[in-house]
């Protein structure tokens, strides 16, 4: 568990700090909150304290706090100091080394890494003074997350919106990740979600896939330090924060995105790619006619897994496929591994009675050249973490063996 000292600045974006605290605590981090005086105009110390489960620090000359933990110690016990939102005034204080209140004093006294999530009006953000301060802070080693572009509370549009809490959480976890993380320096390609193969402008062929398992795998790999390229079809599950996301619709687009993302140390093909597409999609909606059924001529989609697994040059060191089956799961998945030429297959039973497809849990069997290993039913996040751990161990073992051959 990491310790975060969270400084909440005074701006309308302070309301996002409440969700950030909730997500940090949910992820297992300890949060010590500090609020500027103006932050209390937007969110209450009671709300911040309730979510963090800790007392909010507000005043520099709080004698009780000074007796229990002085501001110098408070500034140094955390693993990371995060300022969210970081207002233009706060950034100016930090750049100039001013210590006029508790928050700015903590920032000046700390030797802990600092991260800021700026939030302000677009004109304030683009002002030369703010950009000078930003350059100074970056030169001082401060990590900057955002800001995003969008509509402001004042009605203007442009850069200045504070990044969303999940994006800040991803940046925090990346900053806290040790340089010797199991997958540090590795590039892993992940495909996820369904593909949509158009019949006409309003209809398409697709598989039933939420993309939840693929998103969980991408997040697990990021937590182990990997650089993740996440190629996703039109999924309902949000992609993992921190990954390079490439959104596609069809199998052909997914193949092109996969080839563009290579080389990679490993590739995990969790997408539910449609096996077939309509040979010629109609430019206009096919009209229903009484007593007549339209004839659809189907063509086979490119086999992305087999194509990458069979690459003579540039093949990832570990290629993992998925097999969603409804009967004879292990037999069919074992045959698929041999047919596709991949290293591993993650097989699961997606019969309607299992509730796996589109659900929050999964029950898989990992099939390798050594045989089949059935895992107990567990949350998709747990499946992802177990698979990521196995992948990290396999890549490490590969590095420790003679070159050539497959895992």
Q: What is the 3-state secondary structure (H, E, C) of 359-389?
A: CCEECEEEEECCEEEECCCEEHHHHHHHHHH
pLDDT at 404 over 50: no
**Structure confidence at residue 407 as a pLDDT band (50, 70, 90):** very low
| pLDDT recorded at residue 355 | 63
Please, are residues 162 and 84 in contact by the beta-carbon 8 Å criterion?
yes
Please, are residues 42 and 10 in contact by the beta-carbon 8 Å criterion?
yes
**Structure confidence at residue 116 as a pLDDT band (50, 70, 90):** very high
Q: What is the pLDDT of residues 336-388, one digit of tens each?
A: 999 999 999 999 887 666 666 666 788 889 999 888 899 988 888 899 999 99
pLDDT at 184 over 80: yes
| pLDDT recorded at residue 280 | 79
Mean predicted lDDT score pLDDT of the chain: 86
What is the DSSP annotation of 261-328? H---SEEEE--B--SEEESS--SSPPPPBTTB-----EEEPP-HHHHHHT-SSS--SEEEEEEEESSS
| pLDDT recorded at residue 359 | 66
| pLDDT recorded at residue 398 | 83
Find the range with the poorest average confidence among 5-14, 154-163, 249-258: 154-163
Fill in the DSSP letter of residue 38: G
Q: What is the pLDDT of residues 248-289, one digit of tens each?
A: 999 999 999 999 999 999 999 999 999 888 877 888 888 887
pLDDT at 186 over 90: yes
371 token code pair: 């045989």
Domain with CATH 3.40.50.1950 in the chain: 3-176
Q: Is 4 annotated as a binding residue?
A: no
| pLDDT recorded at residue 378 | 87
| pLDDT recorded at residue 63 | 46
Active site residue 154: yes
Domain with CATH 3.40.50.10300 in the chain: 187-282+296-399
| pTM for this model (two decimals) | 0.65
| pLDDT recorded at residue 2 | 84
What's the mean pLDDT in 103-117? 90
Q: What is the pLDDT of residues 70-92, one digit of tens each?
A: 666 777 778 899 998 999 999 99
Q: Is 343 annotated as a binding residue?
A: no
Place of tokens 């940090």: 24
Find the range with the poorest average confidence among 18-32, 95-109, 172-186, 382-396: 172-186
Find the range with the poorest average confidence among 143-152, 255-264, 289-298: 289-298
What is the rounded CA–CA span in Å between residue 368 and residue 122? 53
**Structure confidence at residue 132 as a pLDDT band (50, 70, 90):** very high
Please, are residues 191 and 231 in contact by the beta-carbon 8 Å criterion?
yes
| pLDDT recorded at residue 403 | 36
Level-2 CATH architecture, domain 187-282+296-399:
3-Layer(aba) Sandwich (3.40)
- Under CATH, what is the fold of the domain 3-176? Rossmann fold (3.40.50)
Q: Is 79 annotated as a binding residue?
A: no
| pLDDT recorded at residue 78 | 85
| pLDDT recorded at residue 405 | 36
Q: Is 275 annotated as a binding residue?
A: yes
pLDDT at 110 over 50: yes
Q: Is 322 annotated as a binding residue?
A: yes
What is the rounded CA–CA span in Å between residue 165 and residue 149? 15
| Catalytic residue (choose from 154, 260, 299, 379) | 154
């Amino acid at each position: 568990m990491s310790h975060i000292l969270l400084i909440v600045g005074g701006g309308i974006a302070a309301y996002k700090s409440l969700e950030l605290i909730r997500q940090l605590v949910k992820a297992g981090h300890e949060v010590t909150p500090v609020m500027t005086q103006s932050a209390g105009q937007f969110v209450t110390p009671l709300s911040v304290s309730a979510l963090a489960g800790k007392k909010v620090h507000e005043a520099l000359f709080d004698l009780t706090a000074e007796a229990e933990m002085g501001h110098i110690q408070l500034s140094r016990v955390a693993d990371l100091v995060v300022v969210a939102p970081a207002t233009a005034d706060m950034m100016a204080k930090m750049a100039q080394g001013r210590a006029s209140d508790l928050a700015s004093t903590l920032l000046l006294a700390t030797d802990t890494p600092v991260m800021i999530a700026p939030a302000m009006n677009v004109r304030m953000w683009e002002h030369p003074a703010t950009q000078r301060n930003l350059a100074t802070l970056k030169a001082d080693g401060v990590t900057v997350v955002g800001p995003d572009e969008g509509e402001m509370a004042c009605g203007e549009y442009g850069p200045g919106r504070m990044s969303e809490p999940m994006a800040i959480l991803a940046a925090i976890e990346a900053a806290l990740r040790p340089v010797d993380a199991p997958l540090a320096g590795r590039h892993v390609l992940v495909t996820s979600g369904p593909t949509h193969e158009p019949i006409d402008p309003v209809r398409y062929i697709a598989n039933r896939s939420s993309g939840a398992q693929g998103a969980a795998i991408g997040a697990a790999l990021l937590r182990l330090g990997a650089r993740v390229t996440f190629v996703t079809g039109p999924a309902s599950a949000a992609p993992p924060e921190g990954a390079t996301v490439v959104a596609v619709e069809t199998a052909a687009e997914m193949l092109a995105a996969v080839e563009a993302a290579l080389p990679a140390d490993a590739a995990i093909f969790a997408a539910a790619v449609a096996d077939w597409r309509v040979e010629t999609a109609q430019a206009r909606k096919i009209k229903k006619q009484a007593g007549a059924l339209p004839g659809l001529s189907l063509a086979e989609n490119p086999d992305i897994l087999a194509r990458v697994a069979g690459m003579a040059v540039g093949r990832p060191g570990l290629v993992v496929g998925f097999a969603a089956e409804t009967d004879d799961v292990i037999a069919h998945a074992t045959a698929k591994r041999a047919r596709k030429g991949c290293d591993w297959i993650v097989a699961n039973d997606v019969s309607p009675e299992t509730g796996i497809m589109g659900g929050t849990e999964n029950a898989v069997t990992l099939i390798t050249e050594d045989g089949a290993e059935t895992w107990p039913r567990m949350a998709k996040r747990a499946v992802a973490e177990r698979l990521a751990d196995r992948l990290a161990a396999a890549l490490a073992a590969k590095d420790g063996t003679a070159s050539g051959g497959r895992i």
